[in-house]
Structure 1
Amino acid sequence: MGWSVASRDHETFCVSCHTALPYALSRAALRGALADQTPTINERRLIENVTKRVRLRDDRGPYYNDETSGAHKTAQSRGTEAVINALILANYDAQTGRLSDDARAAFDQMWAQQKTTGDDKGAWSWLDFDLRPWEAEESAYYGAALAAAAVGTAPENYRSTPAVQDRLLLLRDYLDRGYATQSLFNRTVLLWASTKLPGLVTAERRKSLVTEIVDDERDDGGWSLASMNRTWKGSTLRGYARSWIRADRSLVEMKSDGYATGLVTLTLQQAGLTRDNVQVARGLLWLERNQNTSEGFWPADSLNVQRPPTSNIGRFMSDAATAYAVLALTEANRHSTPQH
């Protein structure tokens, strides 16, 4: 939030998929686990920033534009921001049970950016900087799953609002249509979204996907983002090659990491597996054993370039990993409350 590179117009900042969104989701969960009613300073700054950009509407500039960042970046920025804003505000409002006017405005802006024609109808233009797993050629599916999660998270039964049913149908059709060609990572995010928006995946598909995710667990009890992000289906040759070799020609490592392990153990628990399930228990144990005890974070490496782990940009993956590890552990803790 205080990073100069993230600064944008009207004294706002870019709300990123890699850091700000996971932080928003995890901080709310951690606040609940700690029975802390007051948002932290950084949490308030983030919510205020998102709210300000929603209220600015068309007066706000895109995060990136065609002139300085390349073709389609204006539309991609608009689509990406609209989804993330809606999810962050819906998640925040879920703590109170009341959907605010600002969150409703964010959803209106999100639906306005949804594609209604073409092969990708039902999805959103999504940032593509060839940066996996969030900003690459296959990331529009990830973004659509986030949109579904936003709708399912919103309080006051927003999902049943008559005015959004046609848009929701487009979204469901898109997610169903593209399912077979998606990476396990994208499909795991879809499974997570389906725990918030019932009916997003069929019971048969849900069961099959849970089995596939469980089977991808590593020998040490964790999951590997590099492994989960790899798929040849629907990928260009370049995209598939990038799942093996980073842009700097270093090999992508298949070891377990905090991001994948946190995301998977969170998702499996919310999909109905208990913390006593063997695979979930092993994943939670991996998280307990692999936290950096001196600084408190969980490790994860970039899929794109080898980066110094202590640099600002080098911490992006570990920041995201830490957020999802927190979500997984707080979910486990939520279901371990002794019964009296």
Structure 2
Amino acid sequence: MHSMRIKVLLLYFSFPHLWAAPLSPAIFFPSVVFVILYALILPVVAWRMITPRSRTLALLGTILFSVERIIVYSLRIAEAHSAKERVSEGLVTYMQTTFGAGFISIGHDVVTILRSMLVTSTQGTPVSKNFRDDESLEPLTSLPGHAAPSHSVSPSIRMSFSRTSHDGAFGSVACIDYKQAINSGFHAALTQQLRYASTAVALFLIIGVNAVALWAYFAMPRIPRNSALLVFAVSLLLCIVGAYRMIVMRFSTTSLLSTAPGSLNSPGSKRTFYLFHVLPEFLTAAILLSVNVKRIFATGMFGDVAYRDKNNPVVLSRSLLMTK
């Protein structure tokens, strides 16, 4: 009787579904496409890092993300042609971790450039509250002799920008032992809870970035429209990823290769995954890495890392850079 109960429990035991479920030889083509697309980004990244006027480490997370995605999708291509790799618990665990943390690492970089944009925009001489640079071509900061628009921002608000942008930095997703979740009800429940927590926090903060960018567009005269819209656009793309993850988070599966409803392992579910998770990630990375973030957001080499406005020469050098 006891053994029968154990068999029944094993029969109905389920664990959280897989992100990027194992591929079959018939549907591996999207992975080939994204390997090529991410590979096309690398020459742009190399050019940005070689050129002094665009060299910055403010997007280091996005750069590493793009390189890793080439590795990830190459592994998925190999997985599609190997029955052994499809059920490799080590590879499955790696896939769950990388697809869980990827969009969060990009979000951290978006916070970095938003911080630089907001904090740097508080430098300079005050102008009318109703002033707006409609052409969005003026620099975020000003030097003596440069008629850059600005508005009055008190030191306390400058500190608020600094603190808020630091508090908004995204934490990394904890290393979840998905291998144990496959074989243990306790670890399966823990993994599911950590998934919900990490995705919910990330989505909440990304929505906050989106709202701040929209507010800056309308309320801060010295913020160039194009800069604010760029942050708004990329954060909106990341919101799609987070929302998709929250919607399908409730599903579970009983096997790595199951195609039952809720396993997210059917061809239709995989197409949805590529459409709402993989594609927005790529578009976000491509947009951020294709523009000169150092000039547009005055990030300098590392972004704005100061805790307070010291009116030091670094700020002035950023202003000079953006006027060129």
TM-score (norm 1): 0.28
How does the TM-score come out when normalised to structure 2? 0.29
Which structure carries more relative contact order (alpha carbon 8 Å, separation 6+)? 2
Higher helix share: 2
Larger Rg: 2
